[in-house]
Amino acid sequence: METAPLIVTAVDHPSLSGALDRFLDELRIERPCVGRGPSTGWTPYPVLIEQLGAPRTMRLGAIAAGRLVAVAAVDNEGAVALAVSKQYRRRGIANSLMDVVAERAAAIGYPPLHRYTAPRVRLAG
């Protein structure tokens, strides 16, 4: 499956007015996955959605096909919260977005980045 070219931009840019709210609403109504595999039963935790929606020093989004499909938010301690729209997962978008986030964070002097995890999150591996 081909991945649409990504554009990474500040989520708070005026051209994205309302896009973040729509993205977060999609995450809120998402149903858990069924079947086998690493995504089984996964649904975004409300606290993750809250972290993505909270004002941050740096919040970036990935745009594909004219739509906000992923958001990463970094706090002042370097914790990164990230989510990808359900229909765009498993295409490498999160990795691509994290590459840009890490590059920009380093350029402006953020502390080392680490993954924000909600309580009871089961990490793969």
DSSP H/E element including 74: strand 67-74
Domain boundaries of the chain, sorted by first residue: 7-115
Per-residue pLDDT tens over the stretch 65-113? 888 999 999 988 888 999 999 888 888 899 999 999 999 999 988 888 8
Burial of 69 (0-12, 13-18, 19+ CB in 10 A): buried
Confidence band for 121, pLDDT divided at 50, 70 and 90: very low
CATH architecture of 7-115: 3-Layer(aba) Sandwich (3.40)
Between 123 and 96, the higher pLDDT residue: 96
Are the CB atoms for 63 and 69 separated by under 8 Å? yes
Per-residue pLDDT tens over the stretch 19-77? 999 999 988 887 655 545 555 455 567 788 888 888 767 899 999 888 899 999 998 88
The residues with which 9 forms a beta bridge, in sequence order, are 61
